[in-house]
Amino acid sequence: MVDKKFKIGNKIFNSRLIVGTGKYKSFSECAKAIKTSGADIVTVAVRRVNISDKNKARLMDYIDPKKITYLPNTAGCFTAEDAIRTLRLAREIGGWRLVKLEVLGDKRNLFPEMIETLRSTELLTKEGFKVMVYCNDDPLMAKRLENAGAVAIMPLAAPIGSGLGIQNKVNIKIIRQQTKLPLIIDAGLGQASDATIAMELGCDGVLINTAIAKAKNPIQMAEAMKLAVISGRKSFLSGRISPNLLGSASTTNRGII
């Protein structure tokens, strides 16, 4: 299989690893981890991270938006109205139109509220936003989001910040088969092997925040995730052998003594 470019909307990115900017001890630690990860895109929670008040420490002072693509997201939003208002604000602040939509259903589990998510996607698309959508791993809803104009489908692997890894490989495979959009695992990964598995399932990329930011050594974990994504993609493109319950000798019986 020949690899294709990692393209979202009309923009091509080199790294298939997207990194979040929350939960780090400091902006400087965040910036170092992102540099080590090689990520081209970072997510920014518009409601939580300072990107406009010049009198306080700003993320932009540490991560240059001219070199790294900022992906404003709607973390902390529980209704379509809040999410849409937040992204309109992001557009006014930085002119951003490529955005990550996240509409949550409850504060405990942080699962996506899919009715509000679908409604938000439809409205934002009509306003000219290019919407990357955090969603559950339901293939039917993923298809509805695609039909609504989403530019990327981002199903969770497990609850946000849980570190449980991919819980439903079957649904991820089905979504992969049915969509031509970029498929990016978002939420729930905990270690490098989880990122590799996501890529081996055929996902186009992964978004990781907590697993890096809250690791005992975030910088080293950022490098591990970078290598895991590369390794998983190469494994997927190589074409794995067919699973078999029985053993198969590595050499033939030809010339046996």
Give the start-end residues of each E strand in the chain.
6-8, 11-13, 17-20, 41-45, 69-73, 98-101, 130-135, 152-155, 184-186, 205-208
**Strand, helix or coil for residue 7:** strand
Beta bridge partners of 206: 17, 185
Residues 6+ apart with CB under 8 A from 5: 12
The secondary structure of residue 59, as a DSSP letter, is G
Burial class (CB in 10 A: 0-12, 13-18, 19+), 256: exposed
Whether 234 is catalytic is no
How far apart (Å, rounded) are the C-alpha atoms in residues 124 and 140? 20
46-to-92, 102, 202, 248 alpha-carbon distances in Å: 12, 12, 30, 54
Compute the distance between CA of residue 9 and CA of residue 205 in angstroms, rounded to an integer: 14
Size of the chain in residues? 257
Count the neighbouring beta carbons within 10 Å of the beta carbon of residue 201. Answer: 18
Q: Give the bridge partners for 164, in sequence order.
A: none
Q: Which of 11, 100, 130, 216 is catalytic?
A: 100
Question: Could you tell me which residues are beta bridge partners of residue 217?
Answer: none
Catalytic positions, written as ranges: 100
